[in-house]
Amino acid sequence: MKKIDDSRLYLWFTAITFLIALVCGVIASYSMMRVEPRVEAMLAAGEGAASSYGEAYLMLRDPQVFARYENFDAAAQPIKFILRDFDRRVSSGEGLSAADRPYLDILLERRRLGSALTRNTSVFFALLSLLGLGMFVYERRSLNRA
Query: How many beta carbons lie within 10 A of that of residue 138, not counting itself?
Result: 13
> Which residue did the predictor score with more confidence, 58 or 120?
120
Residue whose C-alpha is closest to residue 66's, from 108, 22, 115: 115
Q: What is the pTM of this model?
A: 0.82
3-state secondary structure 72-117: CCHHHCCHHHHHHHHHHHHHHCCCCCHHHHHHHHHHHHHHHHHHHH
**Statement: residue 105 has pLDDT above 60:** yes
pLDDT of 35: 92
The average pLDDT across 95-110 equals 86
The average pLDDT across 36-65 equals 81
**Statement: residue 104 has pLDDT above 60:** yes
Give the H or E element holding residue 19. helix 7-30
